Amino acid sequence: MSPRTTPKKRSKPQPADLAKESKLPINKDLSKDDLVGFYRQMVRIRRFEERSLRVYQQGKIGGFLHLYIGQESIAVACASLMGEHDHMITAYRDHGHALAVGMSMDECMAELLGKATGCSKGKGGSMHYFAPDRNFWGGHGIVGGQTPLGTGIAYALKYKGLKGSCMTFLGDGAVNQGAFHESLNLAALWDLPAIFIIENNGYSMGTSQERSSSHPPEGLAARAEGYNMAWEHVNGESLFAIRDAVNRAMKRAHEEGKPTLLEIHTYRYQGHSVADANAKKYRTKEEIDDYRKNHDPLNVYRLYLLGKKVFSEDEMKEIDAAAKKEAEDAATFADESPFPETEAITEDVYWETDNPDQRVSEGRLFFND
Amino acid sequence: MPEISYRQAIKDALAEEIERDENVVIIGEEVAQYNGAYKVTEGLLDRYGPKRIVDAPISEAGFIGMGVGASMLGIRPVMELMFWSFAYVAWDQMINNAGCVRYMSGGLINVPIVVRGPANGGTSVGATHSHTPENLIANMPGLKVVCPATPYDAKGLMKAAIRDNDPVYVMESTILYGITGEVPEEEYVIPLGKADVKREGSDVTIVCHGPAVPVALEAADILKNQHDIDAEVVDLRSIRPLDEETVLESVKKTNRAVLVEENRPFCGVDAQIAYTIQNKAFDYLDAPIQRVSTIDAPAIYSPALEPEQLPNAARVVEKALAIL
């Protein structure tokens, strides 16, 4: 094959056609409650993120805070399709997924403040939310490091003979990590019910897709061809389009036990993390404004619901206000919650030390003298 | 009691656990059709089939991480590393994921995985294939690490490792795979964190683990036969959890300690052991604690020189005589 020069460019945002996509088989029978429910979930995520940004600016949150604002349609659409044996795992931009699977704002906000009432008892922080009882396996801090774990969850489902899937989310910055490629190979080689979802927001921290990834003209997901894996490119502006594509991938997982690689075009308005001082330097203000004004998944969906008279302006405002209040209450809850006791530092390290009655090993497990 | 090899003892442990628990699955490079690079899993594919004995591609980060993920859902994968030296390819999965998920989830998630394989020098395979990372693993709270030195210990510790609800990393030895020893036919499990006095003595304590155990025993023979010195050999067996009591008891009896390991000296396991002895048995010591480690350089290839780099009986004897 002769060398070719390929346009290593991220595709331009495409306007979604929600009216059309709402008629796709997976969407056409949605009730008003479903449709409004999706809106409520997206708004809840956005208000939570906005509130957590303020908490961060007040100096109450340590370390990093990676906001999901602009990407809400993805977590909400994917969570809406989850059945008993469908699972989710993601990277460090995990608040949206956590709320979408049903974790409470209280436990999530308290975790940001490092409080004992946090979902990880204040031991994980922003990047490490978990709710295995809701099939949500984190919340992982190392770029691409969660992809073998997601593959393993899919492996476990297959091993146990369960009809399920594991959606493994990653950013466009993770697609050049070896662990990701090894995961694609294993999932395809062993026919695992794995769905890898690239939330392509265009930037791996401050490095654009063009400067970080070589890929076929069709995009990052087309790399799946190399692993003989099904793939699709999805417009993240449309919650309906995401549901359609993810549903197809889930069916492939459930019925054929085969993996899929999805690339969802999306955008983040904030920096990589809140501490990303250069968030407006590696991209133009025009680009940010264009996405915000014309391609915002929440706004696009709101206008669709209003246009179709699924809900009224008043109902919409009520939902917004309720989400805002919920976030406000969560901030208060987090503020008023206690920090963990010092003893907590050495709890939750080993199963055995947390279950001393059932300990079978002997000897020392901690060395603090 | 029948005598079987260290290799056979591990295989028997794997087979018994596969039969006991349907969630136990063996995954690794060449473990199934090839029958194991070091034949530890020989015959298991025929006995248990491809669901339980799985050949993985050369993709350590991928398949070890996959095992970690599967264990979060209750599978008990026993992952074979052809060499522990290859763990570095999967380090993020083994340390960040296996080691931290339980903690970062506030105890919501358990990772009952075993990673096993040989970790030793002495076979002229050069620096990249001769690592002994038990000290590095022991430095990571959340992980457990054991280094069995006899067939009996290998079987009993492997079964305990598989039943443990936390990640347990088992370091074996290609040098030891062929040695034989008595192993009872009836089932037994050796709890992690329990040292074993491999030879009783009253003059000096030699603390060792893994491939350093036969070295220590040989040195004890020489000390007895040539110098009429009775050395007590304490095999740690498990590094984390650690049995400090057995070490301290022995030192309180002999008042002298020589610590032997295949780790490099700097931040080796025995650095911690030495600290423990001086901290908890200072008044019992009649001489400074001595250490014998692998000479502080990457593993040399030269078959003529490698035995000199590794701990050997002559160096242990020399150190013991220096404090007697």
**What CATH number does the domain containing A249 carry?**
3.40.50.970
User: Do β-strands B257-260 and B290-292 pair in parallel, antiparallel, or remain unpaired?
Assistant: parallel
Is B129 in the active site?
yes
Closest by CA to A198, choosing from A90, A67, A79, is A90
Q: Does A159 sit within 8 Å of B25, measured CB to CB?
A: yes
User: Hey, is the C-beta of A138 within 8 angstroms of any chain B C-beta?
Assistant: yes
Q: Does B109 sit within 8 Å of A132, measured CB to CB?
A: yes
Beta-carbon contacts of residue B180 (< 8 Å; ≥ 6 apart): B3, B4, B5, B6, B151
Task: Show the domain range for B223.
Answer: 196-322
Report if residue A72 sits inside a domain.
yes
User: Do β-strands A207-208 and A203-204 pair in parallel, antiparallel, or remain unpaired?
Assistant: antiparallel
Q: Does B103 sit within 8 Å of A152, measured CB to CB?
A: no
Closest-CA residue of chain B to A127 = B104
User: Which A positions 153-172 lie with beta carbon below 8 A of chain B?
Assistant: 153, 155-157, 159-160
**pLDDT category, A279, cuts 50, 70, 90?**
confident
Q: Which of B17, B29, B129, B131 is the catalytic position?
A: B129
Report if residue B191 sits inside a domain.
no
How many structural domains are present in chain B?
2
Cβ–Cβ < 8 Å for B235, B208: yes
Closest by CA to B247, choosing from B294, B281, B290, is B281
Query: What's the pLDDT at A277?
Result: 79
**ipTM given for this complex:** 0.96
Report if residue A277 sits inside a domain.
yes
Q: B244-254 and B269-280 helices cross at what angle (nearest 10)?
A: 60
Both tokens of residue A32?
Answer: 């008003």
**pLDDT category, A278, cuts 50, 70, 90?**
confident
Question: Around B61, how many Cα atoms within 13 Å sit in the side-chain half-sphere?
Answer: 19
Closest by CA to B60, choosing from B23, B27, B32, is B27
Q: Which of B182, B210, B234 is the last residue of a domain?
A: B182
Q: Does A145 sit within 8 Å of B67, measured CB to CB?
A: no
Tally of residues, chain B: 324
Task: Show the domain range for A113.
Answer: 32-337
Report if residue A92 sits inside a domain.
yes
Q: Does A141 sit within 8 Å of B96, measured CB to CB?
A: yes
Both tokens of residue B77?
Answer: 């994968």
Q: Does A179 sit within 8 Å of B105, measured CB to CB?
A: no
Do B29 and B88 lie in one domain? The reply is yes
List pLDDT tens digits, range A349-362: 999 999 999 999 99
Taking residues A232-259, what's their average pLDDT? 98
Who among B25, B66, B141 is closest to A151 (CB)? B66
Cα(A273)–Cα(A64) distance, integer angstroms? 6
The mean pLDDT value of chain A amounts to 96
Query: Which CATH number covers residue B281?
Result: 3.40.50.920
For residue B268, give the amino acid letter: G
Both tokens of residue A358?
Answer: 């059932």
User: Which A positions 97-126 lie with beta carbon below 8 A of chain B?
Assistant: 118-124
**CA distance readout (Å), A150 to A140, A207, A241, A258, B105:** 11, 26, 23, 14, 16
Who among A120, A128, A148 is closest to B65 (CB)? A148
Who among B70, B105, B142 is closest to A124 (CB)? B105
Query: What's the pLDDT at A7?
Result: 56
Do B150 and B203 lie in one domain? The reply is no
Q: Which of B155, B182, B209 is the last residue of a domain?
A: B182
Is B60 in the active site?
yes
Report if residue A281 sits inside a domain.
yes
Report if residue A138 sits inside a domain.
yes
Do B133 and B233 lie in one domain? The reply is no
Q: Residues of A with CB below 8 A from B66's CB?
A: 148-149, 151-152, 155, 183, 186
Both tokens of residue B304?
Answer: 């003529």
Q: B6-20 and B151-163 helices cross at what angle (nearest 10)?
A: 30
Do B169 and B290 lie in one domain? The reply is no
Report if residue A11 sits inside a domain.
no
3-state secondary structure of A341: coil
Cβ–Cβ < 8 Å for A312, A38: no
Both tokens of residue B100?
Answer: 């931290």
Who among B102, B106, B241 is closest to A364 (CB)? B241
Report if residue A1 sits inside a domain.
no
Q: Does A366 sit within 8 Å of B141, measured CB to CB?
A: yes
Do B124 and B172 lie in one domain? The reply is yes
Who among B63, B106, B245 is closest to A348 (CB)? B106
Do B24 and B144 lie in one domain? The reply is yes
Q: Does B66 sit within 8 Å of A354, measured CB to CB?
A: no
- The DSSP bridge partners found for residue B172 are B118
pTM of the model as a whole: 0.97
Per-residue pLDDT of chain B (324 residues; tens, 9 = 90+): 899 999 999 999 999 999 999 999 999 999 999 999 999 999 999 999 999 999 999 999 999 999 999 999 999 999 999 999 999 999 999 999 999 999 999 999 999 999 999 999 999 999 999 999 999 999 999 999 999 999 999 999 999 999 999 999 999 999 999 999 999 999 999 999 999 999 999 999 999 999 999 999 999 999 999 999 999 999 999 999 999 999 999 999 999 999 999 999 999 999 999 999 999 999 999 999 999 999 999 999 999 999 999 999 999 999 999 999
- Edge-to-edge strand order for the sheet containing B290-292? B196-199, B231-235, B204-208, B257-260, B290-292
- The DSSP bridge partners found for residue A356 are none
Whether the predicted pLDDT of A1 surpasses 50? no
3-state secondary structure of A330: helix
Whether the predicted pLDDT of A4 surpasses 60? no
Do B270 and B217 lie in one domain? The reply is yes
**A180 CA: distance to closest CA in chain B (Å):** 8
List pLDDT tens digits, range A92-142: 999 999 999 999 999 999 999 999 999 999 999 999 999 999 999 999 999
Report if residue B187 sits inside a domain.
no
If one counts every other C-beta atom within 10 angstroms of the C-beta of residue B29, the result is 21
Q: Which of B115, B150, B182 is the last residue of a domain?
A: B182
Q: Does B103 sit within 8 Å of A156, measured CB to CB?
A: no
How many structural domains are present in chain A?
1
Q: Which of B17, B29, B60, B306 is the catalytic position?
A: B60
Backbone angles phi, psi at A332, to 5 degrees: -65, -45
Do B204 and B177 lie in one domain? The reply is no
Q: Is A307 exposed, middle or buried (0-12, 13-18, 19+ CB in 10 A)?
A: exposed
Closest-CA residue of chain B to A362 = B193
